[in-house]
Structures are given as structure tokens and as C-alpha cells.
């Protein structure tokens, strides 16, 4: 099956050759972006296509939507590099893919209820959330991101893995438990502790949780 990457002015066709291609280095891929060489997309797909699809799948739970998200992610990368020069390309692409997949999920779920690990994970915070949107209370999401980042940095490696795995990558608890070699209940206990810490952190910074 062919995959289409649609850019405003032209179309880049990505085929399954990524399965047999040999990945090149991130620096080389970034140079391709800077040279406006469409091979950048193909090389990104070879190296990170499956990884990115996996991220999208946990959020949108639909293969076709994942493909769309992937195309949008490549478009985002194409439009961002340059001027951006990612320090870590995989993390850069991850951030784009997550935003794209969340947008996709929102668009789909506004029409109907869509089952998703993503929304299940956010439901963990239900007791901290309000229904009404109060603009005055809400800081911008970037500031909130900085606060959450500062909090996450204060956690142990293991807690970082759990927090990021569950809430950024929307991974199921059993997958996280399996990766760490612990039981589900252990992960749940860690999550409860992390939530308490996050609540305290956000409250101390004036957020209403």
C-alpha cells in the first residue's frame, strides 16, 4: 500500500520500501530537511515510521487514522525543519505526533464516543478536573507544560517512565507493569503517589485542581 505525504505545494509518495531500507543517522536526516530534499521524509519513515504509528495507535486506536496522523507528522516536521534543528529527532517527532494524534482524537470524538487508551489514562485525573472552562483560571498550556515538566524532572527514573508512559504515550498500565517487571497494582500505587505530588505542585503554582 502506498502512503501519501501531502504538502501544500507538492506530494511526496512514501512506499513500503521503508521496511527494507537501512536507516541513516539523525544528523543526515536533518540535513536532508535543511536541504529541502524530500528524501528526508522517506528516511524519517524508514527510521521512525513504525515507532510513530505505535504512538498514534495508543491515542486514536484506528489504523487509518494513524496513517493520517503519520502523514500530518511528516508534514509538521517538513514545515518545522528548518528553522528548527532538533537536538533529538525522535523526541521532536514524538512531540509532533502526539499533538497531531490528540487533535485527530478530539475531532473524531466530538462526533462520537471513541474508545482510547489515551482518554482512559487522562481519566485517572478525573478528581482533579473541572467541567467548566474558566479562561481566567487557566494559564496557557505551554506554562502548564513547563510546570509538569519541572515536576516530572523531580521524579525517579522509574516514576518518569511510569508518568511519561501512561500520560504522554498513553500506554496501558499492564504494558508499563510488564516493561518494569512489576504487577499492575504496583504501577497503580506509583501512579497514585505521582498524582498526589503533581496535584501539590500545581496547587502551589496557583492552578485549581
Partner 1 sequence: MTKDFLIDGISNIDEDLIARFINIDEALSDSRVKVRRGRRLQSKIIAAAACLALLVGIGFAAVPVMNFMGIIGVGKATTDTVTQEPPNVSLGSVIMDDDMIDLNSDGTGDKIEIKIAENNATEAVIAVIDGKTDTEIWSGSMPISKDERCAYYFSNCIDGQDRLIFWSYSLTDGKLVYRCVMFNFDENNQRRILADTEHTFDFSDGHSPYEYEEERWAMLLKNLNKNLNASTVKGYLLVDNTGDEIEVWVPVKLMRKSDIRYTLSELIDKISN
Q: Which three cell numbers stand for residue 115?
A: 474508545
Query: Please, what's the b/e burial string for 63-85 (b: 16 or more CB within 10 A of its CB; e: otherwise)?
Result: eebbebbbbbbbbbbbebbeeee
Question: Of 66 and 187, which has the nearer Cβ to partner 1?
Answer: 187
What is each CA distance from 207 to 78, 135, 180, 186, in whole angstroms?
35, 12, 32, 29
> Roughly how many angstroms between the first and final C-alpha of the chain, as a whole number?
46
Cβ proximity of 89 and 77 under 8 Å: no
Residue window 98-127: x/- pattern of binding to partner 1, with contact defined by CB under 8 A: xx--x---x---------------x--x--
Note the residue count of the chain.
Answer: 209
User: Which range in 18-26, 27-35, 65-73, 134-142 contacts partner 1 by CB under 8 A?
Assistant: 134-142
- Comparing CB distances to partner 1, the nearer of 12 and 171 is 171
- Which CB atom, from 12 or from 114, has the smaller least distance to partner 1? 114
53 makes contact with partner 1 (CB under 8 A): no
CB of 9 to partner 1, least distance (A): 28
Interface with partner 1 includes 84 (CB under 8 A)? no
Q: Cα–Cα distance between 104 and 35 in angstroms, integer? A: 30
Establish if 133 lies at the interface with partner 1 (CB under 8 A). yes
Closest CA relative to residue 91, chosen from 179, 19, 169: 169
Is 164 a binding residue for partner 1 by CB under 8 A? The answer is yes
- Residues 193 and 209: their CA atoms lie apart, in Å, by 16
Q: Which stretch binds partner 1 (CB under 8 A): 1-9, 14-22, 38-46, 162-170?
A: 162-170
CB of 151 to partner 1, least distance (A): 10
Site residues, partner 1 (CB under 8 A): 86-88, 90-92, 94-95, 98-99, 102, 106, 122, 125, 128-133, 137-138, 141-142, 144-149, 152-153, 157-158, 160-161, 164-165, 167-169, 178-183, 185-186, 202, 207-209
Amino acid at each position: 500500500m502506498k502512503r501519501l505525504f501531502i504538502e501544500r505545494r507538492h506530494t511526496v509518495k512514501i512506499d513500503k520500501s521503508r521496511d527494507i531500507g537501512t536507516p541513516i543517522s539523525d544528523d543526515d536526516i536533518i540535513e536532508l530537511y535543511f536541504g529541502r530534499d524530500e528524501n528526508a521524509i522517506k528516511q524519517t519513515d524508514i527510521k521512525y515510521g513504525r515507532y510513530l504509528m505505535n504512538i498514534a495507535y495508543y491515542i486514536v486506536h484506528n489504523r487509518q487514522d494513524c496513517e493520517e496522523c503519520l502523514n500530518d507528522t511528516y508534514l509538521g516536521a517538513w514545515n518545522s525543519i528548518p528553522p528548527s534543528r532538533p537536538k533529538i529527532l525522535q523526541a521532536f517527532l514524538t512531540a509532533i505526533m502526539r499533538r497531531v494524534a490528540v487533535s485527530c482524537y478530539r475531532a473524531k470524538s466530538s462526533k462520537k464516543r471513541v474508545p482510547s487508551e489515551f482518554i482512559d489514562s487522562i481519566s485517572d485525573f478525573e478528581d482533579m478536573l473541572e467541567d467548566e472552562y474558566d479562561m481566567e483560571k487557566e494559564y496557557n498550556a505551554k506554562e502548564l507544560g513547563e510546570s509538569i515538566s519541572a515536576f516530572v524532572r523531580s521524579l525517579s527514573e522509574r516514576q518518569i517512565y511510569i508518568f511519561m508512559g501512561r500520560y504522554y504515550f498513553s500506554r496501558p498500565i499492564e504494558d508499563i507493569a510488564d516493561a518494569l517487571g512489576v504487577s499492575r497494582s504496583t504501577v497503580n500505587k506509583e501512579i497514585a503517589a505521582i498524582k498526589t505530588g503533581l496535584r501539590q505542585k500545581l496547587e502551589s503554582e496557583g492552578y485549581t485542581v
